[in-house]
Chain A
Amino acid sequence: MASTTTAPLTTAPATTRVRPDTRRRTPRAILLNVALLLGLAASIGPLVWMVVSSVKPEGEIRQFPPTLLPADPTWSNYTELFAQLSFPRYFLNSVVVALIVTVGSVLFSAMVGYALAKLDFPGKRTLFALVMGTLMVPGMVTFVPLFVLVANLDLINTYAALILPFLAAPFGVFLMRQFMLDVPDELLDAARVDGAGEFRTFFRIVLPQAKPALATLGILTFLGSWNNFLWPLVAVQSADRYTLPVALALYSTGQNTVQYGLLVAGATVIVLPILVVFLALQRHIVQGIATTGLK
């Protein structure tokens, strides 16, 4: 009896490991993979073209068919871009805003998520209902009144205007609450018995437990802030507060003679750091998206 039940279990992994190698060379498999490769080319082709073109002189960018590697690589697009526009400044603005938004909103989400999941306090149900109710309210609906509010707080053209509205993120709160529900109560009780206060318990016990959720939420919040366009476009009117997307959009739509070299270099400055981060952390991002549905 025992041998008949264990035998299939031990042989099953071996067959599944061997089978794909032979099946993967059938004509059907080759056709499937070639089709996927063509799709992949369509998907990343434009991004590859962007990065390669940014180190080509203007004439070579327009050549057809495009050269895969630059025949005459040059940094002149970048040097000209940095000379004409204060791109280092915009880059710094984007980095500072995205970092503060990420750290702040993830920390605040974790704190309130913990309170909603594990503690009792007056007003808890109302707060949770309000968070859930605003989960789906799109930025398109609130940006006009938000602008009026920010103007009356005298915050137009400030970093505060770019940062403060994004520190309160209902989706982050929802996500952290769901995660904190799974933190075992025994762990918290043990910490309290040992005399740790609520805040010590949170920072020493709860936050380390929540690392995977914090990482996923942090990466995605950073991405969202880095690529954010509508609100910075509205809230900031002087060039020294522009973020990268605002600067590039206004520059690329506002000129008569199009210099693709400069534009492509500017686009690469925005996209390449994010792509590098994405490739380095893609496990967190892709799995995080898959489990949370968060963009």
Chain B
Amino acid sequence: MTVSARRRRTGLAAWGFALPFTLLFAVFLLVPVASSLYMAFTDMRGADLRTPWAVNFVGFANFAEALADPKFQQAAGNTLYFVGVAMPLTLALALLLAVLLNSGLVWFRSVFRVGFYAPVVTSIVAVAVVWRFLLQPDFGLVNSALGAVGVDGPRWLTDETWAMPALIVMATWRNVGYSMVILLAGLQGIPRDVYEASSIDGAGPVRQFWSVTVPLLRPTILFCAVITGIGYLQFFEEPFVMTQGGPLGATNSVAYEIFNQFGFGNYGLSAAMSYVLFVAIVILSYLQFRLLRTEK
């Protein structure tokens, strides 16, 4: 067989392998990505569902409308609040747990690891049922426990001040195990002798954490920060099942607003909001790379 005939044969076979994915990828991912950009600049509504080409171009009107809408502004503020608190909290807790679990003093490391990871595999809808009960103001476990020590707990999910902190705690509870497992794997990759060398130099555990663990773990922390940030910016399921965005919009998020505008049939507006969110995701990831890149 000549070389070119053989190349052609593997070329055909290779496309045979690539074809099922490529077809589905083109139809169900590339087309939606491209058409979301198209929709964001049109006045497409639910009534145009079957005639998506018979719509008017409106330039940046959807973007202007979104940014000027007080509800969207509130949702954007809530999303920043959520990400700004929940992300550092999740990462700090994950790092703390990983460092503790990496210590030689832990009794049942794999039990702890599995236990802290378990909430990650649960459905948010199912978990919401449990948390709504825990946070139930009159007989929920949290307020009953607070009452037992003489504290009058707030009406968590219907209180404008306390609804968001409740969702932040819940999201942290559910996501901390993911970063913890990755950070623990990163920690186990740090050679023991680095620690031994630093303790010979007289560094205590706290000093070791800041001058050995954190610098060597920087790429892993960056990875966790980016993944957690991308997920948290799309904050939707928690408010949908816990508060429906309330009370008075206090837990409404950008993603939830996208979903609502879609529900109202404002497809163009909804697509424009999606792009605002996407840009925010790209900017956050970029900032994290700048901040956490190996120090120089």
Contact = CB atoms under 8 A, between A and B. Distances in A.
Interface of A: 19-20, 23-24, 26, 28-29, 32-33, 35-36, 39-40, 42-44, 46-47, 49-50, 53, 61-62, 64-66, 108-109, 111-112, 114-116, 119-122, 124, 127, 130-131, 134, 136-149, 151-152, 164-165, 167-168, 170, 173, 197-199, 202, 223, 226-227, 229-230, 234, 244-246, 248-249, 252-253, 260, 263-264, 266-268, 270-271, 274-275, 278-279, 282, 285-286, 289-291, 293, 295
Given A36-B112, A278-B118, A147 B18 contact: no
A295 B227 contact: yes
B178 A144 contact: no
Closest 3 CB pairs of A and B: A290-B185, A121-B14, A267-B126
A248 B130 CA distance: 12
Interface string B20-32: 1110110111111
B28 A168 contact: yes
Interface of B: 7, 10-18, 20-22, 24-25, 27-33, 35-36, 39, 49-50, 52, 97, 100-101, 103-107, 111-134, 139, 141, 144-145, 148, 173, 177-178, 181-182, 184-185, 223, 227, 230-231, 234, 236-237, 240-241, 244, 255, 258-259, 262, 267, 270-271, 274-275, 277-278, 281, 285
B278 A138 contact: yes
Contacts of B106: 32-33, 36
Given A47-B130, A115-B17, A267-B129, A151 B10 contact: no
A43 B244 contact: no
Given A148-B267, A263-B129, A120 B31 contact: no
Contacts of A114: 17
B127 A267 contact: yes
A139 B28 CA distance: 11
A293 B122 CA distance: 18
13 contacts: A47-B122, A119-B14, A120-B10, A134-B33, A149-B27, A165-B24, A197-B13, A229-B124, A249-B240, A252-B132, A270-B123, A285-B117, A290-B181
Contact of B125 (A49, A229, A289): A229
B112 A274 contact: no
The prevalent SS among residues of B at the interface is: helix
B129 A149 contact: no
Given A140-B255, A144-B274, A170 B178 contact: no
B118 A245 contact: no
Contact of B100 (A23, A36, A278, A286): A36
Given A119-B14, A142-B29, A266-B129, A164 B24 contact: yes
B218 to A, nearest CB: 15
